[in-house]
Amino acid sequence: MGVNLKKYVGARTNFHIREDIIQSILDSANIRQVVEEFVPLRKRGRNWVGLCPFHSDKDPSFSVNEEKQIFYCFGCGQGGDAIGFLMRMQGLSFIEALKKLAGLYGIDIPEAPLSYSETKRRKESEGLVGANEEASRFYQNNLLGSKRALNALKYLEKRGIGNDIITRFGLGYAEAGWDSLLNHLKSRQVMPELAEKAGLVVQRDGGGYYDRFRDRIIFPIHNKAGDIVALGGRILGDGSPKYLNSPETNIYKKGHVLYGLHKNKDAIRQAGRGYVVEGYMDLLALVQAGVNNVVATLGTALTQNHIKLLKGLTKDWVLVFDGDEAGLKASLRALPLFYQADMRVKIISLPGGDDPDTFVRREGRDVWGRMAEEAPTGIDFVMTYGISTHGKGPDGKARLIEEIISILKPIADPVKKSLLTGYVAQKLAIREEALWERLRPEGSNRPDSDTVSGAGANAGAGKSNGVDRGGLSKAEAKLIGFFMEHHQYVGQFMDAGLELWIKEPILKDLWIAIQHQYSIKGVFNFQEFIEMLGAASELKAAAIRLSECSPPCEDPDEMARGLRRYCGDRKIKALRRLMIDEIEATNKEEEKESLLKKMQRLG
């Protein structure tokens, strides 16, 4: 086969598609044709180039090579084949992307027969989606065509939601009656038992059913593939609860779904940053104001599954919570998840009495954008908010440190934990060793040296503190030295795979430390970087020496472009070397053949 299927879906997934059919699809696909469905391309030498769809790109850095059948972005580091492009572009699974390619090239996919239990599960899932979609259409028709929806339309108008947003997000209205949806579904041959499983109706104690949603604005909830898997409702009167969601079902788990993700994923990729808000109306108000790169949680804290969805779109996120105790607790729970996933996070705490809806309607898009730019990083927010809440005295600082420990402790990456710990100690004017006393595993008599000093413990092996650039790889030293003097370009190399091919241990450790400082602050600042290295004296000496020895650069933009091309070539060579190692390590001929074909695609 032409791809390593485990790369996409994992070894435990069942495909039900013959491997020769998969290979036929891959052999037929032309990556330029696939990409051009989404991205305008123009010829440049042997490649085709365009603006990257996965990040905010002004200077075309997205390249497609027809000979190798691969794409690669020298700006954000995304790359792969036609299937990988469709998976990322449209949020598809491997099988979904494969079927889409088959459709484009007119290839029939004869699927192997499913087991009885698999057939039953698929049929039920399709039935649940169908019931939700029928209910959504019914409610949307009510909102746009029923006289009983007049109050609902007035409410949305009062909240600043226009017809374009109503149509785009499929908003609807559930009438106040007890069985209007139930009767409609019966007329469409959707049985009450299935409607109950979908959470659309509720069974009465004495028998029969009634509508779950009554006199509510309806918000269809989509999964990442665009299927309507649940509904949410906002009551129009004074009843309770104010917001009501479908119960969890076989197709809907609130910890796996984010409202607005399917509709706004392209805007998030293009912006290179996204916002997470807490409710439907907050999201809709932002979109109405022109802020499209936003998703909303569904009455639950962010989960690891949510983080995976977010990371698939961009690594830069801004959490927007009401400025109350509940908002702070939500931030505390979310931060370790972002840091563990190597993502960058800021937090906006809105003024008292405001939520994103009221704020953006009053202040407008430009003020919102400036506030986001000036928002503190996650760890800075916790420290600032904690001091203002608990006070600067010993008791207040102790409470704040407890909250920070709860954020730092789950972080597994030793360098990231070291940099964050040093940063917190510096900001709060406390001894870093005191923090490590709380962070180290129970039973340990001292902090792990590799953790406290970041990666520097290994970096200095065989080298003096006064690292001489002449003793290092000149190309690698030139690259890291460039970052020390031209801090503004670091973000362009965050996903360039330098850690795959930099051979000098001290330079590799410096790059990892640079990455982590950037992920904490969103920018790279040399002076703060030197301070944050703390006990890593080997790294600190190397960084200072590289900065001092970095040659003058008349055109840093051109230098950065050249370095990106260089890093791209080195990344491909490193990936080829890894594949060769895999080939040598396996005794299975089919795996060797698969890896060899994959190497050919890399070039």
CATH number of the domain at 242, please: 3.90.980.10
Q: Does position 149 have pLDDT exceeding 80, yes or no? A: yes
Q: Does position 260 have pLDDT exceeding 90, yes or no? A: yes
304 shares its domain with 273: yes
Closest CA to 499 of 524, 472, 479: 479
Percent of the chain with pLDDT over 70: 84
Joined together, the tokens standing for residue 568 give 């791209």
pLDDT band at 467 (very low <50, low <70, confident <90, very high): very low
Residue 183 has what pLDDT?
97
Closest CA to 515 of 340, 318, 342: 342
pLDDT band at 460 (very low <50, low <70, confident <90, very high): very low
Q: What is the mean pLDDT of the segment spanning 292-300?
A: 93
List, as one string, the DSSP characters of 192-214.
HHHHHHTTSEEE-TTS-EEES--
pLDDT band at 594 (very low <50, low <70, confident <90, very high): low
595 shares its domain with 461: yes
459 shares its domain with 603: yes
Residues 6 or more apart whose Cβ sits within 8 Å of residue 260: 169, 283, 287, 294, 295, 296
Dihedral of CA atoms 180, 186, 188, 190 in degrees, nearest 10, equals: 110
DSSP state of 551: P
Domain annotation covers residue 380? no
pLDDT higher at 444 or 580: 580
428 shares its domain with 459: no
170 shares its domain with 297: no
Between CA 114 and CA 121, with CA 116 as vertex, the angle to 5 degrees is 85
The CA-atom distances, in angstroms, between 392 and each of 117, 324, 387 are 61, 19, 6
271 shares its domain with 358: yes
Domain annotation covers residue 541? yes
Residue 450 has what pLDDT?
36
pLDDT band at 551 (very low <50, low <70, confident <90, very high): low
Of the three residues 309, 342, 375, the one that is the final residue of a domain is 375
Domain of residue 363, CATH code: 3.40.1360.10
pLDDT tens-digit profile of 184-234? 999 999 999 999 999 999 999 988 999 999 999 999 999 988 899 999 999
Phi and psi torsions of 59, nearest 5°: -105, 115
User: At residue 323, what is the residue type?
Assistant: G
Q: How far apart are CA 184 and CA 190, in angstroms?
A: 9
3-state secondary structure of 258: coil
Q: How far apart are CA 198 and CA 133, in angstroms?
A: 11
Name the pairing type of β-strands 344-349 and 316-321: parallel
Residue 351 CB-density burial (10 A; 0-12 exposed, 13-18 middle, 19+ buried): exposed
513 shares its domain with 599: yes
Dihedral of CA atoms 119, 124, 129, 134 in degrees, nearest 10, equals: 120
Of the three residues 104, 137, 166, the one that is the final residue of a domain is 104
First to last CA, the chain: 17
14 shares its domain with 80: yes
pLDDT higher at 503 or 287: 287
pLDDT tens-digit profile of 26-58? 778 889 989 988 888 988 877 888 888 887 777
Residue 369 has what pLDDT?
92
Q: How far apart are CA 360 and CA 277, in angstroms?
A: 13
Domain annotation covers residue 381? no
Q: Does position 4 have pLDDT exceeding 70, yes or no? A: no
457 shares its domain with 603: yes
pLDDT band at 585 (very low <50, low <70, confident <90, very high): low
pLDDT band at 9 (very low <50, low <70, confident <90, very high): very low
Q: How far apart are CA 565 and CA 561, in angstroms?
A: 6
Domain count within the chain: 5
Domain annotation covers residue 444? yes
283 shares its domain with 360: yes
Residue 219 has what pLDDT?
98
pTM score: 0.66
Closest CA to 305 of 267, 329, 337: 337
Residue 309's domain comprises 261-375
Q: Select the highest-mean-pLDDT range: 9-18, 400-409, 571-580.
A: 400-409
pLDDT band at 255 (very low <50, low <70, confident <90, very high): very high
DSSP state of 44: E
Domain annotation covers residue 97? yes
Of the three residues 252, 276, 304, the one that is the final residue of a domain is 252
Domain annotation covers residue 162? yes
Phi and psi torsions of 502, nearest 5°: -65, 120
